[in-house]
Amino acid sequence: METRPEPMSTPISSSPDRDQAPVATPGQSSPARPEPQPLPPRELPAEPTPDHALVWHEDRLFLLDQRYLPARADFLAIDSATGAARAIKDMVVRGAPAIGIAAAYGVVLAARDRFRQDPQAWPDLIQADLDELAASRPTAVNLFWALERMRRRLAGLTAGLPGASKVDPVIGAFQGRPEPYVKAHGQSGATANTGQAGFDLCQTAADPMPALLAEALAIHAEDIAANRRMGQLGASLIQGPTAVITHCNAGALATGGFGTALGVIRQAHAEGKITQVYADETRPWLQGTRLTAWELAQDGIPVTLQADGAAASLMARGGIGWVIVGADRIAANGDVANKIGTYGLAILARHHGIRFMVAAPTSTIDWGIADGCAIPIEERDPGEVLACGGSRLGPAGVGARNPVFDVTPAALVDAIVTERGIVERPTAERMRALLVAVDHKDRLAGNPV
């Protein structure tokens, strides 16, 4: 079993004795990046894979309907903001990063429809769509982060500008891409009068869809790249070979592609560091049983399912090096909101001397919330707990609690892995150091902060 090392003196991991690329701290140049990452899929595959959870195709959003996996792998076509909001609420798409991406595409659909409805009043009409998308699920902060980014883009368009900031926020994801790619992913009908992002600025001033689509595609592309970077950083912490436990589903299905927690597991398995994954079934939606097991099996990674209450006895046997989970919201002090049952798993891990890792992009960090007490926790229909497979199991007259998430205190977390760096033994001070690093890099890139 892996031992628990002493906490590092600096929250951003850069220790030379770890097998990882150094992580830049404020004032330093960024480390060398890996080869260009895969781009958001634009074609519907004959055989859907976990990395095709969200596909923008022929001016519609196609979502791999996660309610029916693995028995059926069907795409649901979404052609309106209302449809996107309903898909988020009904858990056709779930996982904080994927929810944010779906909402961004929902804004694109809203802009298209509102502009067709009234080319002059569309900026006012679209506000109702933004509100509907924001109300779809309350806990996943990526939803509000993505909507805010799309709002900034909208503000720039309504001011007659290509973007809301001096430097086009789209260019980050498209930087270094060949011009045909930029045109194909920004706006297929771009003319000679193109701006940095590859779409017609004159057309954009009238029709908001090209610019907003480019922004949504950028959000999607950046998420894939961030997940692959997190995979590398998280894998660098694992000494291995070892077995790990994961909870719920924080894989490609929950993101734009590759996954957060499962991205770390995929990378570490490829490096020979993880030999076995134990996936909690994750009641009541059984995301571990239906989604995580399917993803890992698709990748040929050994996976064994277990009941949510079986983790303690497994840990007591030995051989578990890490618990690796994702997050739906992280407070400024490092408290983590994730699928219900994560908190208990963290307590068990600490008792058994097993390290606990949270993998999440910086867009999941809510810097405006001081600690986990302020994180809103979604409560869903009690019937989800009282029933299974559509059949009610609980006796008549009996109620049920159905909180979707719980909050794991930062004191129980050994490492928060983001695409911008690793925060070990998170505290408010160490999280602030990450925030400084993020702001510094964004300013260097010209992105709004």
Which residues, other chains included, contact 331 with Cβ-Cβ below 8 Å and sequence gap of 6+? 337, 365, 366, 369, 370, 371, 372, 374, 375, 410
Catalytic residue among 328, 366, 406, 414: 328
For residue 437, how many other CB atoms are within 10 A of its CB? 23
Task: Say how many residues make up the chain.
Answer: 449
Identify whether 442 is a catalytic site residue. Answer: no
Distance between CA atoms of 293 and 289, rounded to whole angstroms? 6
**Rounded Cα gap, residues 273 and 18, in angstroms:** 14
Q: In the 3-class helix/strand/coil scheme, how is the chain assigned residue by residue?
A: CCCCCCCCCCCECCCCCCCCCCCCCCCCCCCCCCCCCCCCCCCCCCCCCHHHCEEEECCEEEEECCCCCCCCCCEEEECCHHHHHHHHHCCCCCCHHHHHHHHHHHHHHHHHHHHHHCCCCHHHHHHHHHHHHHCCCCCCHHHHHHHHHHHHHHHHHHCCCCCCCCCCCCHHHHCCCCHHHHHHHHCCCCCCCECCCCCEHHHHHHCCHHHHHHHHHHHHHHHHHHHHHHHHHHHHHCCCCEEEEECCCCEHHHCCCCECHHHHHHHHHHCCCEEEEEEECCCCCCHHHHHHHHHHHHCCCCEEEECHHHHHHHHHHCCEEEEEECCCEEECCCCEEEECCHHHHHHHHHHCCCEEEEECCHHHEECCCCCHHHCCCCECCCHHHHEECCEECCCCCCCCCCECEEEECHHHCCEEEECCEEEECCCHHHHHHHHHHHHHHHHHHCCCC
- Report the side by side order of strands in the sheet with 54-57: 54-57, 60-64, 75-78
Q: How far is the C-alpha of 330 from the C-alpha of 244, rounded, in Å?
A: 22
8 A C-beta contact, residue 170 and residue 163: yes
Sole residue written with tokens 């209302």:
82
Show which residues are catalytic.
328
